[in-house]
Amino acid sequence: MTEAFKTNYQQSENKTMIIREITGFLESLFPLSYQESYDNAGLILGDDNKDCTGAIICLDVTEAIVQEAMHAGCNLIIAHHPLIFKGLKKINGNGYVEKSIIVAIKNDIAVYAIHTNMDNVATGVSGRMADRLGLINRSVLRYHTGNLSKVYTFVPEGKDEELRKALFGAGGGMISHYSECSFNVSGFGTFRAGEGTNPYVGNIGEQHREKEVRVEMVFPSYLQAKIISSLREVHPYEEVAFDVVELVNSHPGIGSGLTGDLGKTMTEEEVLHLIKERFDLSIIRHTPLTGKMVKKIALCGGAGSFLIPDALHSGAQFYLSSDIKYHEFFGAEGQLVIADIGHYESEQFTIDLLIDLLRQKFNNFALLKTGINTNPVKYFPG
């Protein structure tokens, strides 16, 4: 084990954890359903039913990272970027991806990726970038749709409170920073129980009229199975009537990039110095300065050129991202400054974010922040 890992390990109670407990917690914060269609987040290699001897957190999985995990006694690697991104037809050791896969499998090391599902949550990658700059009044730069649903059901009066509590407990009723949101209206329902039924109220063969409450609430779509299971579990009726509809509303915390305000208005040069300092940069590629004062900044971790139009429309004076191509810089149109700080540089603090989240949940479990800088891009002079 490395000395850093030994220290962290000795401070823990060495509690046995199953890999699935760790990855399941991460997916509760950054659901896999939030990843882009082209992505490959989730468990890449390994068996998530095995005990975890330790986890190493990194941005990229390379052979050196796998070796580091081996020497530290970790059998789980949690990376931002998926080790397998494109389809592989052969695994014979050609290139760093295949070499890393072979070493990981030989040493029974699981590899997990938390990529665009983390990018697309406001408290994820871009959120940590905003933390570094001290941005306030944040909002998502481009909201995503198709992530919210609503459930409607009908329950006898007197049983509605128990039902609401169950649905709230399953993750329903969250609207932005408000919880336990629901709409309820009283009415009556009718039914005739047939032969072989076991009605909660009423008699078989007779039409029954029951005072009921219609309960409806919004929930994240990925929780649908849990919501329906909880509904059925507490609902007193033998046959439960309910509807689930997908909403076109955007989830307030789900989407690409962020905007936020600086604590004070700055010149463009001051913002560049702030970015250079907070992200520990040696170089920043940027468009010509406009001479405007800067209050609002838009940003996106990783490759963010697709959000340049959104940054323009947001009213931001600065857009901070990476992987901007030559012709894409023209998209600033003299209205704002586009600053490209590098892919690795924009995402480097994702490692700290994952460490912080995991330690808050598993404070007696050994976690290791990689000591390897996997950035393949170097600058001369460095």
* pLDDT of 208 above 70: yes
Q: Region 102-108: what's the mean pLDDT?
A: 97
Q: Are 148 and 249 in contact (CB under 8 A)?
A: yes
Higher pLDDT, 365 or 228: 228
How confident is the model at residue 382, as a pLDDT? 60
Burial of 303 (0-12, 13-18, 19+ CB in 10 A): middle
What is the end-to-end Cα distance of the chain in Å, rounded?
31
How confident is the model at residue 301, as a pLDDT? 97
Q: What is the DSSP letter of 46?
A: S
How confident is the model at residue 71, as a pLDDT? 96
How confident is the model at residue 86, as a pLDDT? 87
* pLDDT of 214 above 90: yes
Q: What is the chain's mean pLDDT, rounded?
A: 94
How confident is the model at residue 15, as a pLDDT? 60
With a pLDDT cut of 90, the percent of the chain lying above it is 91
Q: Region 267-278: what's the mean pLDDT?
A: 98
How confident is the model at residue 6, as a pLDDT? 47
Q: Are 321 and 332 in contact (CB under 8 A)?
A: no
* pLDDT of 256 above 80: yes
Q: Region 238-262: what's the mean pLDDT?
A: 95
Q: How far apart are CA 172 and CA 187, in angstroms?
A: 23
Q: How far apart are CA 241 and CA 328, in angstroms?
A: 53
Q: Model pTM?
A: 0.89
User: Which tokens belong to 12?
Assistant: 């823990």
pLDDT band at 11 (very low <50, low <70, confident <90, very high): very low
Q: How far apart are CA 203 and CA 12, in angstroms?
A: 61
Q: Region 124-134: what's the mean pLDDT?
A: 98
User: Which tokens belong to 99?
Assistant: 């070499």
**In 10 A of CB 248, how many CB atoms?**
7
Q: Region 223-229: what's the mean pLDDT?
A: 97
pLDDT tens profile 305-342: 999 999 999 999 999 999 999 999 999 999 999 999 99
Higher pLDDT, 2 or 272: 272
Q: Which residues, 6+ apart, have CB-to-CB distance to 44 below 8 Å? A: 82, 83, 84, 111, 112, 113
Angle at 99 between CA 95 and CA 104, to 5 degrees: 150
Q: Which residues, 6+ apart, have CB-to-CB distance to 38 below 8 Å? A: none
* pLDDT of 295 above 50: yes
With a pLDDT cut of 70, the percent of the chain lying above it is 96
